[in-house]
Amino acid sequence: MKNAKLVLDKDYVISEVDKRIYGSFIEHLGRAVYTGIYEPGHPLADEEGFRSDVLGLVRQLNVPIVRYPGGNFVSGFNWEDSVGPKANRPRRLDLAWKTTETNEVGLHEFASWAKKAGSEVMYAVNLGTRGPDEARNVVEYANHRGGTYWSDLRRKNGAEDPLNIHLWCLGNEMDGPWQMCSKTAMEYGRIANEAAKLMKWVDDSIEVVACGSSSTTMPTFGDWELTMLNECYKNVDYVSLHRYYGNPHNDTEDFLASTMDLDDFIKTVVSICDAVKGKKHSKHQVNLSLDEWNVWYHSHDQDEELYKREPWGQALPLLEDIYNFEDALLVGLMLITILRNADRVKVACLAQLVNVIAPIMTRKGGGAWAQTIFYPMMDASRYGRGKSLLPVIESPRSDTKHFTDVPMMDAAATMDEAGNVTIFAVNRDLKEDCLLACDLRSFGTFREVTHTVLHHDDMKAINTEANPNEVRPVTVAAPAAGEPVLLPAASWNVIRLIK
Ligand code: AHR
């Protein structure tokens, strides 16, 4: 048995939690849209063709914002193809994912789905094959009240009121050679600046996200942020970060330590933003949008095979990672890292939401179920609201292949308006339980303590349609006030202290 200690004080606050850190992502990719959220003819489809079973699961996740329509897809996408009568919408080759896009679901349909899901739309514009002109037009189409060409077209297409999209992405992963019309940092910084300017001239209430480098592993990382922000700093509100982890060599200790890298990544991008702020003598602060994060590696080989079998297919089962229990632990650790950086990470999108590297899976014509990673996301989104508290952690530490001094017990904590405290804690140790002593010196007494645990003896356990409850949280006996909490080896824990 290991011992760890957590000190919290109600006056030691990192920041208000921006609810948008519990965002997600739907791309026109694989079966995210078609046979994912949308399947007319399915027994549970609603009058618009949206699967009500999927909507039910999305509502359980409590997702406040959903990024759309890409991703790599957006860099070749003509937004105009996706509005107006469905019969007139063109079928197009999607060069990003080598598939065929029918445009049956477009801007209006997605806005309607998001409303049903209780989410806002975070809309990405194409800065790959297109540019500032199309970007400002789509803002006018979506957000201008009426009396102009684009806003009246929206009204003619059935939306009398503006769609009021507040948050916009200026392209996607523009430093990636895989991106349609990828750019140098200077080229991107200039086009992002001009696009942001025009979009904000159309609607000065919107916020925009500039593309950071597509990953820390890119040779462009760092210099890209510095160069492009130097061009567009004044006109952008957030820089994007994308990060996926995997465990291809089955080194679970090292895999679970990956959040050391995520924390470093976040802090490096914060420093670069602030360096540009300082250099420009600016009062404006650029924050972070971690708008793609997750585990992604299980489906790589299977996707290669699929492409060989069915080039230019429609709604192919691409990126269908089947997540196991250890993936859920890493997702929990990533959420802890995001919460501890809540002063600068204001938007984060679990990529993605349905079927494509997703917490929710569906079968065409069949059921919908929650993958293992669904549960930490659900817990954090449900209870991790209010203020993020500064956790002072004492924990045994160990080294892994790529990381040193990894705390075996990692945690974040939040306090809501009523003074209820929630502690999210992961015991990374795969063999030993951990006794966690919590010193909550300034909070006074709590009426009730609850404790739920996500644990499985098999790190590779999965949920399936036939067995959807193999990995799910259970409520355990909570300790008496002041007593330490038992965190089982390899577990995600939610401890709620209720006033
Ligand atoms: O989320 C899947 C893909 O990962 C996105 O389209 C792209 O932005 C990233 O490389």
Structure tokens at 365: 């014509």
Contact 125, 67 (CB under 8 A): no
Which pLDDT band, with edges at 50, 70 and 90, does 268 fall under? very high
Q: Do 292 and 244 form a contact (C-beta atoms < 8 A)?
A: yes
* Nearest CA, atom 2, ligand 1: 71
Using CA atoms, how far residue 470 sits from 116, 159, 372, 462, in Å, is 29, 43, 9, 7
- Residues 117-132: pLDDT tens digits? 999 999 999 999 999 9
Q: Is the pLDDT of residue 383 over 80?
A: yes
Report the separation in Å between the CA atom of 416 and the middle of ligand 1, taken as the mean of its atom positions.
33
Yes or no: say if 262 and 406 are a contact pair by the CB < 8 Å rule.
Answer: no
Residue 443 has pLDDT above 90, yes or no: yes
State the DSSP H helix or E strand holding residue 245, giving kind and residue range, or none if neither: strand 238-245
What percent of the chain is modeled with pLDDT above 90? Answer: 98
Band of pLDDT at residue 83, cut at 50, 70 and 90: very high
Question: For residue 134, what are the CA distances in angstroms to 105, 123, 131, 205?
Answer: 19, 13, 6, 19
Instruction: Report the atom number in ligand 1 closest to the C-alpha of 70.
Output: 6
pLDDT category of residue 38 using cuts at 50, 70 and 90? very high
What is the pLDDT, as a whole number, of residue 270?
Answer: 98
58-82 per-position pLDDT tens digit: 999 999 999 999 999 999 999 999 9
pLDDT of res. 390 = 98
- 211 exposure class (CB count in 10 Å sphere: 0-12, 13-18, 19+): buried
Which residues are paired to 407 by β-bridges?
A: 397
**Count of CB atoms situated within 10 Å of the CB of 281:** 6
Element (H, E) at 339: helix 325-340
**Tokens 């409520």 belong to residue:** 475
Q: What is the pLDDT of residue 98?
A: 95
Residue type (1 letter), 458: D
Among candidate residues 140, 292, 320, 326, the one labeled active-site is 292
Mutate to test the pocket of ligand 1, among 24, 25, 27 (most ligand atoms within 8 A of CB): 27
The CA-atom distances, in angstroms, between 259 and each of 74, 246, 255, 292 are 28, 12, 9, 15
pLDDT tens digit sequence for 164-207: 999 999 999 999 999 999 999 999 999 999 999 999 999 999 99
Which amino acid residue places its CA nearest to atom 4 of ligand 1? Answer: 71
Residue bearing the CA closest to ligand 1, atom 1: 351
Assign 151 to helix, strand or coil: helix
Pairing of strands 387-389, 13-16: antiparallel
- Give the integer Cα–Cα distance in Å for 360 and 257: 25
* The amino acid at 423: I
Separation between Cα atoms, residue 430 and residue 115, nearest integer Å = 41
Mean pLDDT of 421-436: 98
Structure tokens of 283? 């009062």
| Confidence grade of residue 481 (pLDDT, cut at 50, 70, 90) | confident
**Top mutation candidate among 172, 216, 321, 354 for ligand 1, by most atoms within 8 Å of CB:** 172
Query: CA torsion, points 493, 488, 254, 172, in degrees to nearest 10?
Result: -20
- Average pLDDT for residues 411-439, to the nearest whole number? 97
304 as an active site residue: the answer is no
Q: What is the pLDDT of residue 493?
A: 98
Q: Give catalytic status of residue 225 as yes or no.
A: no
| Residue 482 pLDDT exceeds 90 | no
Rounded mean pLDDT of 456-460? 98
Task: State which of 292, 298, 356 you would mutate to test the pocket of ligand 1, scoring each by most atoms of that ligand within 8 A of its C-beta.
Answer: 292
The CA 354 to ligand 1 mean position distance, Å, reads 14
Say yes or no to pLDDT of 138 above 80: yes
* Atom of ligand 1 lying closest to residue 27 CA: 6
In terms of phi and psi (left: phi > 0; alpha: psi -120 to 50; beta: otherwise), the region of 27 is: beta
Ligand 1: residue whose CA is nearest its atom 3: 71
DSSP strand pairing (491-498 vs 421-427):
antiparallel
The single-letter DSSP state of residue 418 is T
Does residue 480 carry a pLDDT above 90? Answer: no
pLDDT tens digits, one per residue of 204-230: 999 999 999 999 999 999 999 999 999
CA distance 161 to 361: 33
Q: Distance between CA atoms of 278 and 283, rounded to whole angstroms?
A: 9
Mean pLDDT for the stretch of residues 237-256: 98
DSSP 423-438: EEEEE--SS--EEEEE
27, 173, 231, 320: the catalytic one is 173
Contact (CB, 8 A) for 361 and 351: no
The mean predicted confidence, pLDDT, of the chain is 97
Closest atom of ligand 1 to CA, residue 351? 1
Residue 105 has pLDDT above 90, yes or no: yes
By percentage, how much of the chain surpasses pLDDT 70?
100
Residue nearest atom 6 of ligand 1, based on CA coordinates: 71
Q: Which two tokens stand for residue 385?
A: 């609201």
Contact residues of ligand 1, CB 6 A cut-off: 27, 70-72, 172-173, 242, 292, 351-352
Confidence tier at 350 by pLDDT (50, 70, 90):
very high
- Three-state DSSP class for residue 287: strand
